[in-house]
């Protein structure tokens, strides 16, 4: 059992995401090192450590990351290949040249930290990188780093309680430095066992000299660090300077600047000024410290972003039909029509029974009473319950949250926990108005696609009209990554209203269908679509493969393993986007067809300070389990918006 620390860390976190969102010097969601712009900013040392790594109150020695493989006998991660100096080592050399200290963070599972860290991740302090050299671990060459504490006047919280560090930096004689007789280059003596050349290209590399003059490699288990190497002090010109371990205070200017409080600084994490806990901003209204023993809370006031400020001077919106900025693959023919203030771009994907339609709004639509302009401003002035949604953790320690805010109304959608859904009764007007507007838009487009009269389509639609609204809110640089909306129980039609800053919606074929092979090497037996790899060859195989599936399942599975090799299919990479829709304020996107969600996926990014995306679906109540059904009744849309009366 490790001893207690002598003090508490100034900055700490229980999860990786909170750490990375709150700290300017560490934004590495995977890996030990964070570097940017040619400089290393921070290191995280946790459970993946080398046996010769070292930590005391003012010195850290570590192995460079990468090159590890699981040992078949012990199951431990060990060097699997020779390391070389990479961009991280070069970034550290830049730090040395420019006197840039780096921050070191320890995880609770770090075997070399001398005390028991009080939290999952604890920031240690700023350190000077001083030495980069090569050693051997087993049969492989590895890169090693030495760091010394930048400000030794600051107490090291990780020093064990009631135990004083026996030696200060610079209290011993300088380390031994010798010139190699073989390569003519200098190396420091790192270990008491003797001096060795540490230049990996030298024939004398990693060799001690026996009493008979013969070279031999040291027994790694017997290596002991030379205290002179450990405790040397490296003077820098900025030794007395202090650098902050916290930075994002997200201060408002006091001038009521629209968009200031929705900028990136206002959705990133914040280090609690009371307890030092790193906190992601999970609530639309502000930050709340997640430390159960702390009551810190901050809700910055919002300055209204007027809808008129959304108008682009170089892309004017008028009473005429708005020009299009969509781009698409030649595989996707576009059909353009104009109706009721909307330019309608309809895209049909070959092989898919359905369509994607982009309804681009003009000024008449935007400025109608209760329309998009009014809805955008109303959503800024009411609390509709937007929060960042937890996602599957994957390999991250601690919770993992999406990079947007969300709330669900109406029938529960599995994208949001059932307990987070709210009734339409009493909902803010933009929520119910969106549902009604998108019901009208979907009916209009389906009537156009089928050639049926609007009245006839309306009667059929009413039986399964949209019964759910998922509202997403985006601050600056937030986004939603590629996904599909093909969950069990969803209707074939999905519609989204975009309010606020412009967004870009990208459509691409899913990797499995595009490549025709899974990551496990099995052939994808779904009928291939135009635009996929080896389309003609895969199409020619389809009928025989389907027949084999029925007649001989065993041979069918064997054939699915053979086809990727036969056609040279590989699962790496992603398909290119086939459609990029530039979503303006007030635009509507309708995706129709279950096969569309099966084969394709979409992502959305936006370019401004604030954007809302309100998406409607029909969710079959029978598809919900007893525990997922709402306690309230989801009534039919009673507002009956009719955009055809507008113009």
Q: Which domain holds residue 92?
A: 1-171
Q: Is residue 589 left, alpha or beta, with left meaning phi > 0 and alpha meaning psi from -120 to 50?
A: beta
pLDDT in tens, 503-532: 999 999 999 999 999 999 999 999 999 999
DSSP line for 324-348 = P--EE-TTS-EEEEEETTEEEEEE-
User: In this structure, is residue 239 part of a structural domain?
Assistant: no
pLDDT of residue 534: 97
User: Which of 171, 197, 214 is where one domain is finished?
Assistant: 171
Backbone angles phi, psi at 191, to 5 degrees: -120, 150
Q: How far apart are CA 479 and CA 606, in angstroms?
A: 7
Range from 91-100, 104-113, 206-215, 435-444 carrying the lowest mean pLDDT: 206-215
Q: Say which residue, 403 or 12, is predicted with more confidence.
A: 12
pLDDT of residue 419: 55
Where residue 76 falls among pLDDT bands split at 50, 70, 90?
low
User: In this structure, is residue 89 part of a structural domain?
Assistant: yes
Is there a single domain that holds both residue 350 and residue 395? yes
Is there a single domain that holds both residue 623 and residue 584? yes
Q: Cβ-count burial of 433 within 10 angstroms (0-12 exposed, 13-18 middle, 19+ buried)?
A: buried
Q: How far apart are CA 77 and CA 67, in angstroms?
A: 10
Residue 243's nearest CA partner among 355, 108, 151, 121 is: 151
Residue 200 has pLDDT above 90, yes or no: yes
Residue 248 has pLDDT above 80, yes or no: no
Residue 378 belongs to a domain with what CATH number?
A: 2.60.120.590
Is there a single domain that holds both residue 355 and residue 424? yes
Q: How far apart are CA 500 and CA 521, in angstroms?
A: 44
User: In this structure, is residue 303 part of a structural domain?
Assistant: no
Where residue 486 falls among pLDDT bands split at 50, 70, 90?
confident
Is there a single domain that holds both residue 57 and residue 155? yes
Name the helix (H) or strand (E) containing 457.
helix 454-462
Residue 427 has pLDDT above 70, yes or no: yes
> Measured between alpha carbons, how far is residue 420 from residues 385, 386, 466, 471 in Å?
9, 10, 18, 12
Characterize the bridge pairing of strands 297-298 and 287-288: antiparallel
Q: What residue has token string 């709402």?
A: 630
Q: What is the mean pLDDT of residues 405-421?
A: 81
Is there a single domain that holds both residue 484 and residue 544? no
Is there a single domain that holds both residue 66 and residue 155? yes
pLDDT of residue 68: 60
Residue 86's nearest CA partner among 127, 45, 134, 29 is: 134
Where residue 395 falls among pLDDT bands split at 50, 70, 90?
confident
Kindly give the residue spans of alpha helices, DSSP state H, lying in 367-428. 372-379
User: In this structure, is residue 308 part of a structural domain?
Assistant: no
User: Which of 215, 230, 245 is where one domain is finished?
Assistant: 230
pLDDT of residue 66: 76
Is there a single domain that holds both residue 30 and residue 161? yes
Residue 548 has pLDDT above 80, yes or no: yes
Q: Say which residue, 399 or 187, is predicted with more confidence.
A: 187
Q: How far apart are CA 482 and CA 462, in angstroms?
A: 31
User: Which of 209, 230, 251 is where one domain is finished?
Assistant: 230
Residue 175 has pLDDT above 70, yes or no: yes
Residue 343's nearest CA partner among 324, 364, 326 is: 324
Residue 377 has pLDDT above 60, yes or no: yes
DSSP line for 271-296 = E-TTT-BEE---BTTBEE---TT---
Q: How far apart are CA 125 and CA 9, in angstroms?
A: 9
pLDDT in tens, 258-279: 999 999 999 999 999 999 999 9
Q: What is the mean pLDDT of residues 416-439?
A: 89
Q: What is the mean pLDDT of residues 12-41?
A: 96
Q: What residue has token string 């780096």?
A: 102
With a pLDDT cut of 90, the percent of the chain lying above it is 87
Query: What residues contact residue 248 under an 8 Å CB cut-off, 6+ apart?
Result: 22, 24, 265, 268, 269, 270, 271
Q: How far apart are CA 103 and CA 106, in angstroms?
A: 10
Name the helix (H) or strand (E) containing 536.
helix 535-551
pLDDT of residue 71: 65
User: In this structure, is residue 242 part of a structural domain?
Assistant: no
* The two three-digit tokens of residue 619, written as one number: 């969710």
Residue 118 has pLDDT above 80, yes or no: yes
* The two three-digit tokens of residue 146, written as one number: 């030495």
Backbone angles phi, psi at 283, to 5 degrees: -110, 140
Is there a single domain that holds both residue 176 and residue 165? no
Is there a single domain that holds both residue 367 and residue 495? yes
pLDDT of residue 102: 99
Where residue 213 falls among pLDDT bands split at 50, 70, 90?
confident
Angle at the Cα of 94 from the Cα atoms of 92 and 99, rounded to 5 degrees:
95
> pTM for the whole thing?
0.91
Q: What is the mean pLDDT of residues 235-253?
A: 91
With a pLDDT cut of 70, the percent of the chain lying above it is 97
Residue 627 has pLDDT above 90, yes or no: no
Helix (H, G, I), strand (E, B) or coil at 436: helix
Residue 240 has pLDDT above 90, yes or no: no
Q: What is the mean pLDDT of residues 307-315?
A: 95
Backbone angles phi, psi at 254, to 5 degrees: 90, 5
User: In this structure, is residue 196 part of a structural domain?
Assistant: yes
Mean pLDDT of the chain: 94
Residue 393 has pLDDT above 70, yes or no: no
pLDDT of residue 533: 97
Q: What is the mean pLDDT of residues 430-446?
A: 97
Residue 620 has pLDDT above 70, yes or no: yes
Is there a single domain that holds both residue 167 and residue 190? no
Is there a single domain that holds both residue 289 and residue 411? no
pLDDT of residue 515: 98
Characterize the bridge pairing of strands 342-347 and 334-339: antiparallel
Range from 151-155, 352-356, 575-579 carrying the lowest mean pLDDT: 151-155
Residue 459 has pLDDT above 90, yes or no: no
User: In this structure, is residue 440 part of a structural domain?
Assistant: yes
pLDDT in tens, 554-584: 999 999 999 999 999 999 999 999 999 999 9
Is there a single domain that holds both residue 411 and residue 532? no
pLDDT of residue 455: 77
How many domains, in total, are found in the chain? Answer: 5
User: In this structure, is residue 644 part of a structural domain?
Assistant: no
């Amino acid at each position: 059992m490790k001893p207690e620390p002598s003090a508490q860390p100034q900055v700490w976190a229980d999860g990786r995401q909170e750490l990375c969102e709150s700290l300017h010097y560490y934004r590495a969601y995977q890996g030990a090192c964070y570097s940017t712009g040619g400089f290393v900013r921070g290191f995280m040392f946790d459970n993946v450590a080398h046996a010769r790594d070292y930590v005391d109150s003012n010195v850290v020695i570590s192995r460079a990351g990468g090159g590890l493989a699981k040992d078949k006998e012990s199951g431990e991660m060990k060097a699997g290949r020779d390391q070389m100096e990479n961009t991280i080592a070069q970034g550290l050399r830049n730090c040395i040249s420019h006197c840039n200290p780096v921050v070191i963070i320890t995880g609770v599972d770090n075997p070399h930290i001398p005390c028991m860290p009080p939290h999952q991740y604890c920031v240690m302090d700023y350190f000077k990188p001083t030495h980069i050299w090569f050693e051997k671990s087993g049969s492989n060459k590895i890169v090693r780093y030495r760091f010394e504490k930048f400000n030794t006047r600051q107490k090291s919280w990780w020093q064990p309680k009631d135990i004083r560090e026996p030696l200060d930096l610079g209290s011993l004689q300088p380390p031994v430095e010798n010139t190699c007789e073989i390569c003519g280059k200098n190396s420091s003596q790192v270990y008491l066992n003797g001096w060795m050349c540490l230049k990996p290209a030298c024939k004398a590399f990693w060799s001690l000299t026996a009493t008979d003059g013969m070279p031999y490699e040291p027994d790694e288990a017997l290596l002991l660090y030379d205290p002179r190497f450990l405790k040397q002090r490296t003077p820098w010109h900025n030794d007395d300077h202090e650098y902050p371990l916290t930075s994002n205070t997200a201060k408002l200017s006091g001038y009521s600047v629209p968009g200031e409080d929705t900028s990136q600084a206002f959705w990133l994490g914040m280090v609690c000024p009371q307890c030092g806990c790193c906190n992601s901003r999970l609530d639309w209204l502000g930050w709340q410290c997640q430390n159960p023993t702390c009551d810190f809370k901050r809700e910055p006031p919002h300055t209204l972003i007027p809808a008129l400020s959304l108008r682009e001077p170089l892309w004017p919106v008028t009473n005429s039909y708005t020009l299009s900025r969509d781009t698409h693959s030649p595989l996707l023919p576009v059909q353009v029509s104009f109706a009721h203030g909307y330019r309608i771009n309809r895209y049909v994907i070959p092989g898919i029974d359905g369509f994607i339609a982009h309804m681009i709004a003009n000024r008449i639509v935007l400025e109608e009473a209760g329309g998009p302009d009014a809805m955008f401003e109303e959503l800024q002035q009411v609390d509709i319950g937007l929060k960042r949604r937890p996602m599957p953790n994957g390999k991250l320690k601690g919770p993992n949250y999406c990079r947007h805010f969300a709330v669900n109304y109406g029938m529960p959608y599995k994208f949001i926990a059932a307990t987070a859904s709210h009734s339409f009764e009493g909902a803010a007007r933009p929520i119910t108005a969106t549902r009604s507007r998108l019901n009208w838009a979907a009916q209009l487009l389906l009537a156009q696609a089928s050639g049926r009269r609007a009245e006839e389509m309306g009667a059929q639609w009413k039986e399964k009209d949209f019964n759910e609204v998922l509202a997403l809110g985006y601050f600056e640089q937030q986004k939603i990554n590629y996904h599909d909306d093909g969950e069990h129980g969803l209707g074939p039609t999905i519609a989204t209203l975009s309010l606020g800053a412009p967004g870009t919606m990208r459509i691409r074929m899913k990797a499995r269908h595009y490549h025709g092979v899974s990551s496990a090497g099995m052939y994808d037996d779904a009928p291939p679509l135009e635009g996929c790899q080896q389309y003609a060859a895969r199409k020619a195989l389809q009928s025989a493969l389907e027949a084999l599936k029925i007649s001989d399942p065993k041979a069918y599975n064997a054939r699915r393993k053979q086809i990727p090799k036969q056609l040279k299919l590989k699962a790496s990479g992603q398909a290119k986007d086939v459609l990029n829709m530039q979503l303006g304020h007030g635009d509507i996107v309708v995706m129709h067809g279950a096969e569309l969600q099966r084969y394709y996926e979409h992502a959305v990014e936006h370019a401004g300070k604030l954007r809302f995306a309100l998406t409607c679906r029909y969710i079959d109540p029978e598809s919900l389990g007893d525990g997922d059904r709402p306690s309230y009744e989801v009534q039919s849309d009673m507002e009956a918006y009719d955009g055809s009366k507008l113009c």
